[in-house]
Structure 1
């Protein structure tokens, strides 16, 4: 009988424990990096779009065209929320149909589902991407911090039009439907700077000038 057969062998156990700790540390670092990336995504995305002109980058306009075309385009609206933000965010109308050059007005509703003040900032995307250069926003809430009090709901408006110069580009002649989507991400810095309650103070002066300033609202499906 081998007198060493019953001897304890702690080394493998220590190695396993050490390996488990290493795995836990690596996972923690990965999670922290993912959270940090989510917070950094908004300014990085904005900079990327401005520099490259990709991602369905739209234009900002201060003057509405003085002419419209017979061409009609359907605009669809979508709203998303990053999992780190306890909000419900959705369009108050799913779609609208406009003539090219006609100014449109759409509203989104955001609700803070938590019992504490929270802040978010939205990015946007227009698809198909090649249509972005013709999609002009007169007023928009994207890239501006929005802070909601507990259980508070606010309406956020965007006014826009499709540039009549779209008729001169054969590459977009087949486009009949455009999707405008917004995604809200957490913006904890806005709370730290004392911006609580700022969402209800959205500058709607540009929206109020839309003619006709009517909300094309449809009931959302349950």
Structure 2
């Protein structure tokens, strides 16, 4: 099982870039460049990604309250915030653990599901007419506090058992380089500092887990570390919601 697949998806930054573009904060060229960095060439029904952007622009309802774009992440102990047994839930199970939900008109939600491969990203589009399950709607501060508390609890448990091995020449350097990877290619300049801080903390915790489990190959603390996955995913979803709301208010 890959740790990275459980704690990170390019869909996080993709959702932020799409929201910034929909609200007029970045240009089409900017979002196309970001998408290329985030997942290589993107296609939609064998059409270029510009067709996908055009359809998203037409379908998105920015007028109603609440974030028009939501990041949906799922994993062990955290089912996706999609109707159980729905077309979108089944499609997500086939493609991975990340989706982007876009609020449409007349109560429709458009669920965009990326499938990432070494050759690029292909997108699947599903429509849900039933209301999606409500997320936790945590503020960035609440999500940050929960992640910080869970991280400290895990650290206390690990220290109590003597700490992890240090087989790498410089585990701290590995953590730093992985955190830099998670942040690439960055976020639009207009992203709220609160969201950016939350993403950075999630990146840091994810990098620590990957260093211990995948790079050091130490599975002694899997229960403590794996319990953080849900908090990392929740923090990422809360950060996207905050960024999206800010874009909409400034639109």
Q: Relative contact order, CA 8 A, sep 6+: which one is greater?
A: 2
- Normalising to structure 2: TM-score of the pair? 0.24
- Structure 1 or 2: more strand by fraction: 1
The structure with the greater share of residues assigned to helix is 2
Instruction: Report the TM-score when normalising by structure 1.
Output: 0.26
